[in-house]
Amino acid sequence: MIDWHHENGALGVEAVGLTMRFGSFTALDAVSIRIRPGSFHALLGENGAGKSTFVKCLMGFYQASDGDILVGGHEVHMTHPRVAQGLGLGMVYQHFTLVPSLTGAENLVISRGDVPMRIDWARENRDLRAFMARMPFTAPLDTPVADLSAGEKQKLEILKQLYLGHRFLVLDEPTSVLTPQEATEILSHVRALTQAGEITVLMITHKFREVTEFADEVTVLRNGIHAGHGRVGDLSHADMARMMIGERQSQPIPDRAGTPGATVLSLHDIRALDRSGLREIAIRDLKVRAGEIVGIAGISGNGQSDLMEILTGQRSLLSGEMRVHDTPYHARRPEAQRLKVRYLPEEPLHNACAPRMSVADNLALRSFDDGRGIWLDRAGIAARAKTRIAEFDIKTRSPEAPVRALSGGNVQRTALARELTGDVDLLIVANPCFGLDFAATEAIHDRIMAARNSGTAVLMISEDLDELLKLADRIIVMAEGTLVHETPAASADLAMLGQYMSGHA
Amino acid sequence: MADQALHGRRLPVRAAALETLLPRIEAVAIPAIGLIGGFAIFAVFLLSQGKSPVEFATLVWKAGYSSAFSLQNTFSRVAPLLFAALCVALPARLGLVVIGGEGAIVLGGLGAGVAGVALAGLPSVMGFAGMVIAAMGLAGLWMGLVGVMRVKRGVNETIASLLMAYIAIALFNHFVETVFRDPASLNKPSTAPLPDGLRVGDMPVITTHWGLIVGICACIACWVLIERTKLGFAARLAGDSARAAKVQGLPVDRLIIGFMALGGALAGLAGLFEVAAVHGSANASLIAGYGYTGILVSFLARHNPLAIIPVAILLGGIEASSGLIQRRMDLPDATNLVLQGMIFVAILFSETLTGRLKLLQPGTWGRT
């Protein structure tokens, strides 16, 4: 049983000259951050800026090469994650760590370090209810976690940290899987807890909106260096962006040009079973015209990946028809080549690349069987790879390096270089920038917009609403396996989209 | 972060050379480590039995490689090993682990034996062509069936191929003892002996049957197929990432069935040569475990068809020496299996070293 009484009060944490080296590479270079007790502190930075390295040092997953960590004003040696937990430091990860088949109550109890061999559930339940009553928000305790919504799961994750008596919480992109409404609700609760002086929060995020609405202070990291810090009220979005990306010129999205042309892709009365075989995916009518980007919005798990499998011909249809250029389309290779259909599935390393094959080979996946004869044109593959690598600025040791040795952004560039080379009439993309940093995202958005402007029909399935608002001409919301709402992106109402996405409209 | 580390550096020609060279060195070094490790464990085993590992090695050399006679003995065992290993290596490039090559060998032998007798009246070229078709067809269909079960119903190909091998052996015994039994074969049920015109003779110079050279050619052809043709590229892609291959619209299912069937057909040739060059008819001598040793050969060769050739010669020599070792060292026949098993475990273990030997990673050298 945990004694709550002496565990009240937010905890201040300070890092002084924290440095982390991996071999000759310095991931974190003398970073000093002071997180006041009871503050809501945001940590901004691109991928690879050192945010997660910093947090891992704080939480004892890494031992810093140099520098000190102070918790509650006392210097501590973070030799192990258990040390951090013992001091009251907790972390909420981007992806859920709850056991899906257990209930909320069971998850909370087993997360404790001191669970006895035989659990007295009557007493635990009594204690849990008393605990919940003290909390400013609650989550269902008696439902298996698998049946909870993403928002409820995230609430439970935060409640778990509070239940464990942690008074300094690191939130690692806590809203990436939530609807805007859920995100706002949860961050409001977290903010209220910090204002009440119960906890201190350090939140890693990419979303400026969350920083300005909820955080008190913000620290920006860039290339492992402390790039800026300030009170949120004193900084504009432009200031933060400048700190984050430094002197680099961020390229504006190319202007939209041209008007949509003829229909390229049309799905008509499509019905198919989803991956579990229990739910039906039903697309009544979906058309994408040349020179427009149609965005499919939705929270992950509402049938988007099933739609992608239908579009790539990997899911058999119960009924309906897919047409490209008004001819029936089954996504077979000759059809895709003849009708100039290209794909950029999510997680390109797993879905669009052969990880152990070379960059050059991966660039040739579309074209290796062009022309007649049975022989592989190895010289041609090598020569074209060189051109593509230069043209798309793919950073690799050599064209012969396996593609899995590349960073995420460069894997995506490899896939993009392949799919956008030559004439493309229809481009189907899914979450193209998931996990990529600012610069890589910009570059990929530019390419997709450029393809649209040159007359390619683009269907873009994305869980990132900001991305869709930026790129798409039309946004269609997918929820529970069907398309539920359509709106021109220019006049899209964020709240309305969020409601449709969460199925509450 | 890795991205960051790459940013500042422009790596010229040397990096590209390392990028191709180091993986090749690694591909040889890792199975070599496994092989040496396996021998080392076996040496300890021999010592525990009061036997000398040095004497064992000397006898292997003597019985396997030292003279024309011993080489002939070795080579006659290499031929079936080559085909059996290809039956593992081809599906392996598609990410499938097949361990039931023995079934395909046995059925290939049965097909060749029966067809040879049935076509005895035809000119020998046509008769032999019929035997090849029967052997490769039957064995190819058998393994293709494993592929079909895998693709259509998700049946695990490793288990299915092994169980199918038991069925194949049972069917072989059934037919050899009933329908196709030569009434003259009293103690050892066999099919009728092949007519002389359909027997495979010895090659000139090295007095080993033609199966050896055909097997080596098959290994080279398979390497060319995988590394140099469009079909091979598609297979490598499907083996590395079936999902990526499907998004590319490639017929992954047909590739799996096709490569399984091709592997089976090649194993069928092992049966054909055993019948037509060694035993003269299909009988239980065909069930000699080449299919299982072939698994070891292919894994040692890391499923590279060219590497299968030297590895098969190595293991063929060890198999050839087992008689002498029994007599001289007073060790049971099973000693050979103990050695093979130990090497196999060591090889599987060494595979986990891939990418972990710092000296062999291009990144290690790129940073300097």
Q: What is the pLDDT of residue A254?
A: 64
Q: Tell which of B9, B246, B248, B255 to mutate to test the A interface (max A CBs under 10 Å).
A: B248
Residues 321-350 of A with CB under 8 A from B: 331-337, 343, 345, 350
Sequence-separated (6 or more) residues with CB below 8 Å from residue A74? none
Residue-wise pLDDT for A413-460, tens only, equals 999 999 988 889 999 999 888 777 777 888 889 889 999 999 999 999
Mean pLDDT score of chain A, rounded to an integer? Answer: 87
For position A287, which CATH number holds?
3.40.50.300
Residue A347 lies in a domain: no
Interface of A with B in 446-505 (CB under 8 A): none
Q: What is the pLDDT of residue B5?
A: 42
Q: Do A390 and A487 fall within a single domain?
A: no
Digit-coded pLDDT (tens) for A356-397: 999 999 999 999 998 888 999 999 999 999 999 998 888 888
Q: What six digits make up the tokens of A326?
A: 């008004």
Tokens of A438: 């600012």
d(CA A195, CA A215): 11
Residue A296's DSSP bridge partners are A461, A476
CA-nearest residue of chain A to B5? A25
Q: Are residues A429 and A453 in the same domain?
A: yes
Instruction: Specify whether A94 is located in the same domain as A117.
Output: yes
Distance, in angstroms, between B235 CA and closest chain A CA? 11
| Amino acid A503: pLDDT | 62
Q: Which domain holds residue A379?
A: 352-422
Say whether A376 and B1 touch across the interface (CB within 8 A): no
Residues on chain A touching B6 (C-beta within 8 angstroms)? 395-397, 407
Judge if A324 and A190 occupy the same domain: no
* DSSP bridge pairs for A43: A204, A219
Q: Is A250 part of a structural domain of the chain?
A: no
- Would residue A169 count as lying in a domain? yes
Same domain, A392 and A311: no
Q: Which of A248-252, A457-461, B85-89 is predicted with the least confidence, judged by mean pLDDT?
A: A248-252
- pLDDT at position A492 is 82
| A280: in domain | yes
Separation of alpha carbons B56 and B329, rounded Å:
8
Note whether residue A252 is domain-resident: no
The minimum CA-CA distance between A352 and chain B, rounded to whole Å, is 5
From the list A24, A354, A369, the residue facing B244 with the nearest CB is: A354
List all residues of chain A from 343 to 382 with a beta carbon under 8 Å from chain B.
343, 345, 350-357, 361, 364-366, 368-369, 373-376, 378
pLDDT at A479: 85
Instruction: Please check whether residues A366 and A447 belong to one and the same domain.
Output: no
Looking at the structure, tell me whether residues A9 and A81 fall in a common domain: yes
Average pLDDT over residues B19-40: 87
Place of tokens 């049966």: B271
Number of domains making up chain A: 3
Q: Which residue has the higher pLDDT, A46 or A470?
A: A470
Backbone angles phi, psi at A113, to 5 degrees: -75, -20
Residue B367 has pLDDT above 50, yes or no: no
User: CB-CB: which of B1, B230, B237 is closest to A354?
Assistant: B237
Same domain, A319 and A450: yes
Judge contact between A260 and A489, C-beta under 8 A: no
Quick one: three-class SS letters along A476-487?
Answer: EEEECCEEEEEE
Q: Which of B243, B248, B362 sits opposite A365 (nearest CB)?
A: B248
Would residue A251 count as lying in a domain?
no
**A256 vs B304, more confident:** B304
Residue A235 has pLDDT above 90, yes or no: no
CA distance B243 to B252: 9
pLDDT of B280 higher than 80: yes
pLDDT value at position A247?
57
Answer whether B5 sits within 8 Å of A409, measured CB to CB. Answer: no
Whether ipTM > 0.90 holds is no
Residue A178 falls inside a structural domain: yes
Task: Tell me the C-alpha distance between B287 and B279, whole Å.
Answer: 12
Mean pLDDT of chain B: 90
Nearest 10 degrees: Cα torsion A178, A179, A180, A183: -30
Locus of tokens 């008007």: A259
Residue B180: helix, strand or coil by DSSP? coil
Question: In this structure, are residues B253 and B131 in contact, taking their beta carbons and an 8 Å threshold?
Answer: no
Q: Does residue A123 lie in a domain region?
A: yes
The DSSP secondary structure of A327-341, one letter per residue, reads EE----HHHHHHHTE
